[in-house]
Amino acid sequence: MSRSLGILFIGDIVGHIGLAFVKRTLPEFIEKYQPDCIIINGENIVNGKGLTAKEADELFALGAHVITTGNHIWENWQARPLLANSPLVLRPHNYPPGNPGKGYAIAEISHGRKVAVLQVQGRTYMQAIDCPFRTADAILPKLTAHTNIVIVDFHADATAEKMAMGWHLDGRVSAVLGTHTHTQTADAQILPNGTAFISDVGMTGPYDSVLGMDKDIALKRFILQTAHKYVPAENNMKMCGAFVRVDERTGEAISIEPFIYPEFSRSKV
C-alpha cells in the first residue's frame, strides 16, 4: 500500500495583521495536520498589495515550501525583484513574457520527495492575459517529469472559470485550489478522475471588513462611486485554506478538508 502525503494550503493573507495571525496559528495547524508540504498565497500582505523579501522570508521561516501570489503582486514594485530572484515565490504563469518571475516550482520536501506547484490566473472579469488552460497544458509535462504530485493555485474571479479548470485538469493534477475571491466556497470535492477541487479556499485576515479591506472605505466606494484608498481592516482574524491528502505514488487526491479558523459565528452569542 502506498503512503499518503499531506498538503496544507493557506489562502490569500491580507495585511501584516494577517501575517501575524498566521504566525500565531500555523504552529497548531502543523501540530494537527502534520503536513509534508505547506503552500501559502501571499498576494495581499503589504497593504493588500503583494509582498516583499522580508515577508517571504518570514513565511519560509514558518515552514512554507512555496508562496503563490496573484494579480495584486504587480502593484508592489518591491515584489518584482523578489519574483525575479526567488524561485519558490510564484506569480500566475500566464502573464505575458517579459514580466519577472514564473508560475511554477518544484519544491523539495522531506526524504527527497518533490511537490510541483503551478499558479495560473483566470481571465473572466480579470486582465486579458494568456489562456490559463493552454498555459497549464503546456507546462504540465515539465512538472510531471519530476513528480506525480502537482498542486495548482487557480487565481480567478468567476466560479464558472474555476470549475471549468477543475474539469480541464481532473486526473492530470493532484489538486486545483482556487484563490482570489477571498470567500471560501462550499464545493470542496474529489473529482471523478482523482483531482481535489475547491473554487476558492478563502482569505486569511480580518473578516470585520469587505474582503479584508476597511469596511467603511469599501462602503464609500460602493455608495459614492468615487475613489477612496483602501487600507486593510484589523478585526475578527481568521485563517482559511484547505488540507489535501494525496497518494504519494500516483499523486491522486485522497481527501480535501477546507478550514475556516476560527469558524464563523452562526448564532447570536
Which has the closest alpha carbon to 169: 257, 70, 252?
252
Q: Which is nearer to Fe ion, 166 or 178 (CB)?
A: 178
Structure letter (DSSP) for residue 263:
P
- To Fe ion, the closest distance from the beta carbon of 211 in angstroms equals 8
- To Fe ion, the closest distance from the beta carbon of 210 in angstroms equals 13
CA dist 65 → 95, 105, 118, 181 (Å): 23, 10, 13, 23
Which residues neighbour 224 within 8 Å (Cβ) at sequence distance 6 or greater?
A: none
Q: Which is nearer to Fe ion, 109 or 218 (CB)?
A: 218
Q: Which is nearer to Fe ion, 118 or 246 (CB)?
A: 118
Which has the closest alpha carbon to 43: 95, 97, 79, 2?
79
- To Fe ion, the closest distance from the beta carbon of 21 in angstroms equals 15
- To Fe ion, the closest distance from the beta carbon of 11 in angstroms equals 8
Which has the closest alpha carbon to 35: 54, 74, 62?
62
Report the SS3 class of residue 164.
helix
Which residues are tagged catalytic? 72
Which has the closest alpha carbon to 69: 193, 175, 189, 82?
82
Sites of contact with Fe ion (CB under 5 A): 12, 43-44, 70-71, 180
Q: Which is nearer to Fe ion, 70 or 206 (CB)?
A: 70
